[in-house]
Each structure stands twice: as C-alpha cells, then as structure tokens.
Amino acid sequence: MCALAFSPDGKTLLTLENNLEECCGGPPSNPLILWDIESREIIHRFPAVPDVGKSVAFHPDAHSVFASILSSIYEFDVESGEQLRVFEGHDTDLR
C-alpha cells in the first residue's frame, strides 16, 4: 500500500496501492479503492489511473476523493466512482 486517507466522518477509508507488475508492463489494475471500515467491504474500485500514485485525500465535504499521480491530480466522485476531472500542469511530480 502506498497511501491511505480516512473520510472526514471516519466511516470510509481510501487506499492507493502501487502494482509493480503494472508499472513493468503488466495488466492494468484498479489500485484506488474505497472501503467501508465497519463492514471491511469494498465500496468502489475507481477507474485505473495511468501510472504510480503517491498520495490520496478526501474533499472536506466527502463527496469526492483525489489521487496524485505523477504531475497530475485525479478527482473521483464517491457515490458513482466516476472520474470527475484531472488537474494538470505541474512541472514536477506531486507528493
């Protein structure tokens, strides 16, 4: 596991796993996962991100989550699991 973040209400956990097989040309995976803490079940596997991630965070209203991947930040909707947008433009990798 590379990164994790608890939701503002403490009921869910967002994890980011870096799949070394994928980095080395293996099959795509869905390393960004939202968990229900009480039941320990997966709520969402968010769409696969294009490269190795570094960090994750919840929006303060808990309606969206963010993952930093290289020099971009991806935003996903917590309810639907859909990617909402990508913030690009950094000259260096984000942490």
Q: In the β-sheet with 64-69, what is the strand arrangement from edge to edge?
A: 53-58, 64-69, 72-77, 83-87
For 19-41, write each residue's pLDDT tens digit. 545 444 555 455 789 999 999 99
List beta partners, residue 45: 33
pTM of the model: 0.76
Q: Which residue blocks in the chain are alpha helix, DSSP H? A: 20-23
Query: Which comes out higher in pLDDT, residue 52 or 3?
Result: 3
Residue 48 CB-half CA count within 13 A: 10
Q: Is it the case that residue 94 has pLDDT exceeding 60?
A: no
Q: Which pair of structure tokens corresponds to residue 77?
A: 């909707």
Query: Which comes out higher in pLDDT, residue 48 or 14?
Result: 14
Rounded to an integer, what distance in angstroms lies between the CA atom of residue 88 and that of residue 37? Answer: 31
For 34-90, write each residue's pLDDT tens digit. 999 999 999 988 876 666 667 899 999 999 999 887 778 889 999 998 999 998 876
